[in-house]
Amino acid sequence: MTCEYIRKLLSSYMDGMTNQQESRVVKAHLQHCSACRKELEQMKEMRAVLQQVPDLQAPADFPESITKKMKDRQNTVFASREPGEPRKASWMVACIMGIFLLVGIAISSLLPAGTIISIAEKYFTQEEGKNLAIGPILQRILSEGNQIDEVAEPEQKDLILDAQSGKELGAVKNKKVLTPGIDAGSGYNKESLPVMTPKLAHFYFLRINTSDAEETITQIRAVAAPYLIAGGSDDQAEYLYIRVEKSQAEGIIKELRRLGAAEPVRDTLDYTYEYSALSASIQQKQTQVQALKARENLTREEQDTLQRLNADIKQMQKKQKDINQCCSRAEIEVAVYEFSLKQ
Amino acid sequence: MMSDEQLVQDVLRGDNQAYEDLVLKHQHKIFTLAYRCMGDEDDAYAMAQEAMIKAYRSLHSFKGRSSFSTWLYRITINVCLDEIRRRKRRIIPFSLNQLLAAADGDEVQKDIVDESLAADQLYEQKELFLYIQQALNELRPEYRMAIVLRDMMGLSYHEIAIVFNCNLGTVKSRINRARSEMKKKLNERELLS
């Protein structure tokens, strides 16, 4: 078991949030790996330090200030919007580019029905949750609607900028020509983009429940549009998670790729911790099997071991298959990058 | 003391005093959460205010599926993150100077660490807390919030999933990454053994 794999589990292990199998694996690893032990010790120490930090006290006039503010707002017939910073054309360009150039996709199936899905259904389909998550986005889009629509209107095919034509973006005020372009097929190639720098697009904790590709894309574009901010670097892409019917996942990913450069694309099927832990165990046992098979003249005992290992592997593979089959939904992870023009 | 749920019912029946009670009950947590998110007391004040007003207005949509405090944390975090996005920039990490000034109310020089070996324990502890907030400010907002909710406010993974509106797997990986980043920051400052 690699340290890298264990370290992904250490934090959950410390909080008792790993399953039995994971806990066993971590425990066994810790017995012989001093580096990971130190990592865990430090994490515990840090938790203890953080727990000591006391809460702040809200200022004495805080409760009163809320009542006052609420009254003030009630007395205002038309609530004026707080003056924002003047919109900059360059920001608009950055924003629009961001809408176009999404995507680094990983797909992972959720845990078997009855575990995560039921938990997720319970919490994530709450009405207020949806309002809180998507409401502000839609509101902002509506309030900024005209400008965004002007430039976000091109047909989907035009979303991938054409390197040859250096197609202009509609109504952008400064009329900068975005070239060379990005080809969805070949992926994002840094060298072909001398005038663009990928920047961090802001994350949003959004979960889209849909089996409709078009709807998904509409929502992603809506999300990406207003929340792109400056700063960060290309290794800090942020992620949206889209839960879809498993059978629809491939189709939706295909559609998503049309939105922009699909690099780095991570098509690895990484099911849940449970599934990964099984994979790890299978791999471990297969190594043992190979080692035994490589030898000649096995003793009776060794032959038994070989048989047992093979049976274990078979059983674990079956369990993986079960997990796979009872996952009705897949989760698509979409990285959102912002590309802006260098000034 | 009346339960949050009872107070919410009273507010919905038109009893505004009940809302004041809710504010009094949760104000310090909300103010602290907003401070941890924004890294500045003035911003925290404004954001906590906004969150409380927003909560009042959407109280009818609180269905009691989570605890009231979890629901309130979620609103607070959304308000803070909205503000961060509105500014369209990352929060600029505060220098130690600013942090000390903000906490003490008057100017403190950076070389204060060299001042005296007999600096009293209280001061050291205070300094440690300021270093911690400084390290938090340097984390990306979602990591900062994950670590605050888990390690400083003691929320369960399920509660954090509700606050972030994401699944348990995401919470696990976010907390894991947040802790690794934070540990790195604290190690850089030689605060861990």
What value of ipTM does the predicted structure carry? 0.80
Residues of A in contact with B187 (CB under 8 A): 42
Q: Which of A12, A47, A55 sits opposite B32 (nearest CB)?
A: A55
- Is the CB of B170 less than 8 angstroms away from the CB of A227? no
Question: Could you tell me if A43 lies within 8 Å of chain B, comparing CB atoms?
Answer: yes
Q: Provide the chain A residues 131-150 that lie in CB contact (below 8 A) with chain B.
A: 131-133, 136
Q: Where are the domains of chain A?
A: 3-50, 87-271+327-341
Percent of chain B at pLDDT exceeding 90: 37
* Orientation of helix B16-38 relative to helix B41-57, angle to 10°: 140
Residue B97: closest CA among B87, B88, B106: B106
Cis amide linkage into residue A180, ω under 30° from 0? yes
Per-residue pLDDT, A247: 66
List of residues 6+ apart from A303 with CB closer than 8 A: none
Question: Could you tell me if A61 lies within 8 Å of chain B, comparing CB atoms?
Answer: no
Instruction: Count Cα neighbours of B96 within 13 Å in the Cβ-side half-sphere.
Output: 13
- Is the CB of A11 less than 8 angstroms away from the CB of B176? yes
Residues of A in contact with B129 (CB under 8 A): 53-54
Tokens of A147: 């400008």
**Please, are residues B132 and A50 in contact by the beta-carbon 8 Å criterion?**
yes
- Is the CB of A62 less than 8 angstroms away from the CB of B45? yes
Distance in angstroms (rounded) separating the CA atoms of residues A121 and A124? 5
Q: Provide the chain A residues 266-295 that lie in CB contact (below 8 A) with chain B.
A: 272-273
Q: Which fold has domain B1-90?
A: Rna Polymerase Sigma Factor; Chain: A (1.10.1740)
What is the full per-residue pLDDT of chain A (343 aa) written as tens digits? 688 889 989 999 999 998 888 899 999 999 999 999 999 999 999 999 898 888 999 999 999 998 888 777 655 433 333 333 333 333 333 333 333 333 333 343 333 323 322 332 333 333 332 222 333 333 333 333 222 222 222 222 222 222 233 332 222 222 222 222 222 233 333 332 222 223 333 333 334 444 455 565 565 555 544 433 323 333 334 455 555 566 666 666 666 655 543 333 333 334 455 666 777 789 889 989 998 888 888 889 989 999 999 999 999 888 877 766 655 555 565 555 444 333 3
Q: Which residues of chain B have pLDDT under 50?
A: 88-119
- Is the CB of B82 less than 8 angstroms away from the CB of A136? yes
